[in-house]
Chains A and B, each alone.
Chain A
Amino acid sequence: DAKTTQPNSMESNEEEPVHLPCNHSTISGTDYIHWYRQLPSQGPEYVIHGLTSNVNNRMASLAIAEDRKSSTLILHRATLRDAAVYYCILRFTGNQFYFGTGTSLTVIP
């Protein structure tokens, strides 16, 4: 099973950009890279996903390395509401998500 590796925790100042890294060296050609986040005492929520090209949406950007062995979630201006655990997940066919322990993001006012 393809797994991901993320730092346990990161800090960012409010209104500054945040780059959350993820390594997935065993990724296969058909695995999509998904990011979810979990706010305190809530269920996870979708942030963004991609396959090969960089992706942008209203929440974040996803930068994918050319060899696809790593990716970076970019929050352009961190707010206090972005304090959460961020999970980088490889999604296979069969609808099975494998969550790691994620990165706990602290936003400093």
Chain B
Amino acid sequence: NAGVTQTPKFQVLKTGQSMTLQCAQDMNHEYMSWYRQDPGMGLRLIHYSVGAGITDQGEVPNGYNVSRSTTEDFPLRLLSAAPSQTSVYFCASSYPNSPYNEQFFGPGTRLTVL
């Protein structure tokens, strides 16, 4: 299994540009989520999905959109990039809603917005 994969690894955008961060998992996990991590900080939840066709907002959803058309993929879209969105983005997945299931994280996408 490849686990959780994210592309690209690095990205530089100009203010106002849009882009999509890709996330895929091959473990048949129902639950997927996106986090951002700012320098010296912990991870903050952006959006999450408990299955195909179902998404919900996390702690910091503004400026981001998500959709979940398949179990495997959970892309994160930046609609109009801003310097405040400069961060490292992590995707994670786990088995369905359960308080004891571990989450598997991808390697991250480092995004810089100029």
Contact = CB atoms under 8 A, between A and B. Distances in A.
Interface of A: 30-32, 34, 36, 41-46, 49, 51, 87, 91-102
Given A95-B50, A95-B94, A96-B45, 14 more contacts: A30-B99, A43-B105, A43-B106, A49-B100, A51-B100, A93-B97, A95-B48, A98-B45, A99-B35, A99-B43, A99-B44, A100-B42, A101-B40, A101-B42
11 contacts: A32-B100, A44-B103, A46-B103, A49-B100, A91-B99, A93-B97, A94-B97, A96-B48, A97-B43, A97-B45, A98-B45
B79 to A, nearest CB: 23
Contact residue range for chain B?
A: 20 to 34
Given A95-B94, A96-B48, A42 B108 contact: yes
B100 A95 contact: no
A99 B45 CA distance: 9
B21 to A, nearest CB: 14
Contacts of B107: 42-43
Contacts of B94: 95
A102 B42 contact: yes
Contacts of B92: 43-44
Contacts of B43: 44, 97, 99
Contacts of B41: 101
Contacts of A31: 99
B33 interface: yes
B31 interface: yes
B2 to A, nearest CB: 14
